[in-house]
């Protein structure tokens, strides 16, 4: 069965610091990769997605992620975080051999201090 | 436009009772998904509908859980003989193509 690991459960940063959240998955087939964000009191929203092509994906609000197939990774980055980025971030994978459902990581709770 | 809506937003019930959770997908989205998110964890897949039929129900934990989508739009997740371990946020998502999934706000179920 496929699985998704997010290494950092809680991250605390000051504004303007750089962010990198790790995501690794265990599946060898063709995958689609996603990062979702959940702001306090709100529902899950898509930040960015990778289906094919350029492995460096740009998303909303200045976020980007890089798909490294050899490392089974899809890390999320942002050069300079803002207080408004305080949220929980979820990495998710959909594999072509495991149906249409998403398999989510456990999430990373990010707190940005003003 | 309107997003995915779920009702109720909160449901408190007693152990052993029956509950129904409703999902209204985005209009025109043929794919509909149910997930369950326990405290401190990521969402876990329950069931996936393509149109009216359940294309994949491999995530349903046991036969107390059942879901329907009779007209290919609104879906209802039904839980019989609820247990305290069923307490979680139940999320619904819809998709036009099966690629990107759009999530609703969830129903927080508390079983006392």
Please give the Cα distance from A63 to B23 (Å, whole number): 30
Per-residue pLDDT for A110 more than 80? yes
Residue B101: list chain A partners with CB under 8 A: 46, 102
Q: How confident is the model at residue A78, as a pLDDT?
A: 98
Place of tokens 């998709």: B95
The verdict on B25 touching A (C-beta cutoff 8 Å) is no
Whether residue A105 and residue B42 make contact (CB cut-off 8 A), yes or no, is yes
Please give the Cα distance from A103 to A68 (Å, whole number): 18
Residues 9-38, chain A: which have Cβ within 8 Å of B?
A: 32, 34, 36
Residue ranges of chain B with per-residue pLDDT less than 70: 1
Q: How confident is the model at residue A23, as a pLDDT?
A: 97
Which is nearest to B107 in space by CA: B22, B38, B42, B29? B22
Per-residue pLDDT for A98 more than 70? no
Kind and range of the H or E run holding A57? strand A56-58
């Amino acid at each position: 069965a496929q699985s998704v690991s997010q290494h950092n459960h809680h991250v605390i940063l000051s504004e303007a610091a750089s962010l990198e959240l790790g995501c690794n998955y265990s599946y060898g087939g063709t995958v689609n990769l996603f990062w979702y964000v959940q702001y306090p009191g709100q529902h899950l929203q898509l930040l960015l997605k990778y289906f094919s092509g350029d492995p460096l994906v740009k998303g909303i609000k200045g976020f980007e992620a890089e798909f490294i197939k050899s490392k089974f990774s899809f890390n999320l980055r942002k050069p300079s975080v803002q207080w408004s980025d305080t949220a929980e971030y979820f990495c998710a994978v959909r594999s072509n051999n495991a149906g249409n459902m998403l398999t989510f990581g456990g999430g990373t709770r990010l707190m940005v201090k003003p | 436009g309107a997003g995915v809506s779920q009702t109720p937003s909160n449901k408190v019930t007693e152990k052993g009772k029956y509950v129904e959770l409703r999902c209204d997908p985005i209009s025109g989205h043929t794919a509909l998904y149910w997930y369950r998110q326990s405290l401190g964890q990521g969402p876990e897949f329950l069931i996936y509908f393509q149109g009216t039929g359940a294309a994949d129900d491999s995530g349903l934990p046991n036969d107390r859980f059942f879901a329907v989508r009779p007209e290919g739009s609104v879906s209802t997740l039904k839980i019989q003989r609820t247990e305290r371990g069923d307490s979680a946020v139940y999320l619904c998502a819809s998709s036009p193509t099966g690629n990107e999934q759009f999530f609703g706000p969830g129903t927080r179920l508390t079983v006392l």
